[in-house]
């Protein structure tokens, strides 16, 4: 018996699987592999990093899978200030974080801040029709102090 390693990983991969079927998409092996890899990440990963880590899965498939997951609200696209975008799973809990990029070494760290979220919600109330928001802070990490 080969145990399904994904069921141990958490709830996101499972809910992703469900949403994929509900949306009428096939549960193809390459798509599952992209889902599983995203599930294992704690923060954003680029499309080409996913591509590089998945042998026998084509670039086009990786980009397509990400795009579909994004449309299903399962994945968020984040702008890390570099040349490539990052992608990360959207937690079913609604929890989300923003990013601090170290301008020295390029390291990306997640952070959360309630006052910031509140301020952004206020902007929403002031009349802008916001779909989503994204905050990227730039500075120096502890290593590059």
Report the C-alpha gap between 133 and 69 in whole angstroms.
Answer: 18
Residue 63 sits in the site that holds DNA (CB under 7 A): yes
Cα 41 from Cα 93, distance rounded (Å):
16
Q: What is the CA radius of gyration of the chain?
A: 17
Q: Which candidate, 140, 134, 137, places its Cα nearest to that of 102?
A: 140
Nearer to a copy of itself, 95 or 126 (CB): 126
Q: Which residues bind a copy of itself (CB under 8 A)?
A: 79, 81, 100, 103, 111, 113, 115-116, 118-120, 122-123, 128-140, 145
Nearer to a copy of itself, 53 or 133 (CB): 133
Residue of 9, 18, 48, 121 interacting with DNA (CB under 7 A): 48
- Site for DNA contains 144 (CB under 7 A): no
Q: How far apart are CA 47 and CA 68, in angstroms?
A: 13
| Token pair for 51 | 């591509």
Binding site for DNA (CB under 7 A): 24-31, 46-48, 56-61, 63-65, 67, 83-85
């Amino acid at each position: 018996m080969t145990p399904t390693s994904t069921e141990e990983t958490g709830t996101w991969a499972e809910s992703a699987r469900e949403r994929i079927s509900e949306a009428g998409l096939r549960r193809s092996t390459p798509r599952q592999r992209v889902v599983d890899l995203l599930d294992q990440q704690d923060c954003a990963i680029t499309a080409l990093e996913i591509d590089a880590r998945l042998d026998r899965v084509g670039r086009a498939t990786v980009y397509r899978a990400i795009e579909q997951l994004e449309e299903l609200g399962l994945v968020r696209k984040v702008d890390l200030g570099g040349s490539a975008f990052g992608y990360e799973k959207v937690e079913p809990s609604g929890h989300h974080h923003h990013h601090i990029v170290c301008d020295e070494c390029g390291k990306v760290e997640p952070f959360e801040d309630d006052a910031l979220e509140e301020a952004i919600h206020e902007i929403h109330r002031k009349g802008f029709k916001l779909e989503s928001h994204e905050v990227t802070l730039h500075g120096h990490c502890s290593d590059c102090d």
